[in-house]
Amino acid sequence: MNLSQKEIERRFTFSNLDVYLDLEKKGKSIAVLIAHYASYEWVISMNRVISFDGFAIYKKLRNPYFDKLIKDIRSKFKAYLINTKETIDVMKKNDEEGRLCVYGFASDQSPKAAKAYHWAPFMGHKVPIHTGAEMLSKRFDMNVIYLKVKKIKRGFYEATFEVLSEDVRSVPDYQISDMFIKRVEEQIRESPEFYLWTHKRWKHKKD
């Protein structure tokens, strides 16, 4: 809560920010896919060096005090938080107004099995995969980029961007989601101790 802008800039750096900035020049909004890995939430610090308005999509907390606390913490770095239920309306409004934005999706958690549209292999199990980021990217014709966070040393992290698609509507359905979850798995296998295992990613599986 007390982390300053200067301190977060020192502790969370980007190895190839130019890859992201080049996408901004394409004139389309951007979807950033990221895993619950290491200090992934610090990616909001990129708002200091980008032109687009940044939105982080999150699941609203039941406790109103902690929900407000999270919003207050993240908003001090110029990140707008939108909960999952209002995401489409916000994106639609921004799109209709011609407002170019970047949207952050942490899509590696498990959706409800009954609402799963797609299953894919992940860490040795076939599991349901969140496809919302891909579907919304296609609906609003956004460029899609993956952000990988790596721990350098205690309290210091480095993020790297990788473009997944600049023509998402031409990509077969679920391919973007598969590409994303494959990269998450590769990231986990490199250093599994930094993954947020508490989210019970494999509570639904087909073996």
What percentage of the chain has pLDDT greater than the value 90?
Answer: 56
- Which structure tokens are listed for 145? 């980029």
| Mean pLDDT score of the chain | 89
Pair type for strands 156-165 and 30-34: unpaired
Angle at 134 between CA 87 and CA 192, to 5 degrees: 100
Query: Who has greater pLDDT, 180 or 59?
Result: 180
* CA atoms of 110 and 85, how far apart (whole Å): 17
pLDDT band per the 50, 70, 90 thresholds, residue 133: very high
- Which structure tokens are listed for 56? 């982080």
pTM summary value: 0.90
- Which structure tokens are listed for 88? 């489409």
Secondary structure (DSSP) of 93-135? HHHHTT--EEEEEE--SPPPGGG-S-EEEETTEEEE---HHHH
* CA atoms of 186 and 203, how far apart (whole Å): 20
pLDDT band per the 50, 70, 90 thresholds, residue 88: very high
3-state secondary structure of 66: helix
Q: Give the pLDDT of residue 200.
A: 66
* CA atoms of 23 and 204, how far apart (whole Å): 36
Pair type for strands 119-122 and 53-58: unpaired
pLDDT band per the 50, 70, 90 thresholds, residue 32: very high
Q: What are the pLDDT digits (tens) for 39-81?
A: 888 888 888 889 999 998 888 888 988 888 877 777 777 778 8
Query: Can you give the residue ranges of every domain in the chain?
Result: 25-44+91-196
Q: Give the pLDDT of residue 52.
A: 94
Hey, which residues does 37 pair with through a beta bridge? Answer: 195
Contact 87, 60 (CB under 8 A): no
- Which structure tokens are listed for 167? 């023509």
- The pLDDT of 169-197, averaged and rounded, is 94
- Which structure tokens are listed for 119? 């299953």
CA-closest candidate to residue 166, choices 18, 19, 16: 19
Contact 79, 44 (CB under 8 A): yes
* CA atoms of 134 and 181, how far apart (whole Å): 12
For the cut 90, the answer to whether the pLDDT of residue 204 exceeds it is no
